[in-house]
Amino acid sequence: AQSVTQPDIHITVSEGASLELRCNYSYGATPYLFWYVQSPGQGLQLLLKYFSGDTLVQGIKGFEAEFKRSQSSFNLRKPSVHWSDAAEYFCAVGTASFTGGGNKLTFGTGTQLKVEL
Amino acid sequence: GAGVSQSPRYKVAKRGQDVALRCDPISGHVSLFWYQQALGQGPEFLTYFQNEAQLDKSGLPSDRFFAERPEGSVSTLKIQRTQQEDSAVYLCASRRQAPKDEQYFGPGTRLTVT
- Is the pLDDT at A100 greater than 70? The verdict is no
B43–A44 C-beta distance less than 8 A:
yes
SS (H, E, C) chain B: CCCCEEECCEEEECCCCCEEEEEECCCCCCEEEEEEECCCCCCEEEEEEECCEEEECCCCCCCCEEEECCCCCCEEEEECCCCHHHCEEEEEEEECCCCCCCCEECCCEEEEEC
A101–B48 C-beta distance less than 8 A:
yes
Task: Look at residue A113 in the predicted model and tell me its pLDDT.
Answer: 97
Q: Considering only residues B1 and A73, tell me which one the structure prediction assigns the higher pLDDT.
A: A73
Question: Considering only CB atoms, which chain B residues are within 8 Å of A89?
Answer: none
A105–B45 C-beta distance less than 8 A:
yes
pLDDT digit string, tens, across residues A13-59:
999 999 999 999 998 777 889 999 999 878 899 999 998 888 999 99
- Is the pLDDT at A101 greater than 60? The verdict is no
- Tens of pLDDT along chain B (114 residues)? 589 999 999 999 999 999 999 999 999 999 999 999 999 899 999 999 999 999 889 899 999 999 999 999 999 999 999 999 999 999 999 998 777 778 999 999 999 999
With beta carbons less than 8 A apart as the criterion, state whether A78 and A27 touch.
no
In a mutational test of the B interface, the residue from A4, A88, A104 whose CB has the highest number of chain B CBs within 10 Å is A104
Pick from B3, B56, B107: which is nearest to A101 by CB? B56
Question: Considering only CB atoms, which chain B residues are within 8 Å of A42?
Answer: 107
Pick from B50, B91, B100: which is nearest to A102 by CB? B50
B99–A107 C-beta distance less than 8 A:
no
Strand partners, A68: A73
A96–B99 C-beta distance less than 8 A:
yes
CB contacts < 8 A (A, B): 72
